[in-house]
Structure 1
Amino acid sequence: MEEFIDDKIEDGNREMAPKEKFSKLFDELKSCSVSEQKEKIEEMNRMIDEMNKEELYSTFTKEQFEKIDKMIEEEKLTMGNAILLLKHMGYCNILKSIYIEDFFFSSFNGRFEEMIVDEEQNKEKRKENLLTGLCECYLLLNIGTSSQLISDCAPCLLKAALKKEENEEAQKEVEMALLALSCIDVCNIIERDLFLNEIKEIIQYHQKRCNLTQLAYQSAWGFLIKRFELDKSLEVVIANELHFIREARREVEELWKSVDWKKKEEEMGKTERKAMDIILRWFGPIGDYFYSCHLWNEEYVGLLRSIVDVLLASRDNHSEICEECVRLFKAAAENRAVKLVALLKSGAIDAALEEIPKSTLNRRMTYEFINFFHLISMRFKGKGEAKTTEEERKELKRKIFEKQEEEGFEDIIVRFQKTNRFYYANDAIFIHL
Structure 2
Amino acid sequence: MRNITIVGAGQAGLQLGIGLLDKGYSVTAISNRTGEEIANGKVLSSQSMYDMALSHERELGIAFWDEKCPPIEGIHVRAGDAQAGAQLDFRSRMSANGQSVDQRVKMPRWMDEFQRRGGNLVIGEVDMAELERLAATSDLVLVATGKGDLGKLFERDAARCTFDRPQRAIALTYVHGMVPRDDFTALNININPGVGELVHFPALTHSGPCDIINIESVPGGPMDRWDAVKTPADHLALTKALIAEFFPWEAPRFANIRLTDDNGILFGRVTPTVRKSIGVLPSGRTVLGMGDILVLNDPMTGQGSNNAAKGASLYLEAIVARGNGAFDRPWMEALAEGYWDYAQWSARFTNSMLVPPPPHVMEFLGTCCQNSGLAHQFADAFNDPKSLSTWFYDPDAMGRLLAETAAVA
TM-score bucket of the superposed structures, by smaller chain = under 0.3
TM-score scaled to structure 2, two decimals?
0.26
State the structure with bigger RCO (CA 8 A, min sep 6), 1 or 2. 2
Q: Which has the higher strand share?
A: 2
The structure that has the greater radius of gyration is 1
Q: Which has the higher helix share?
A: 1
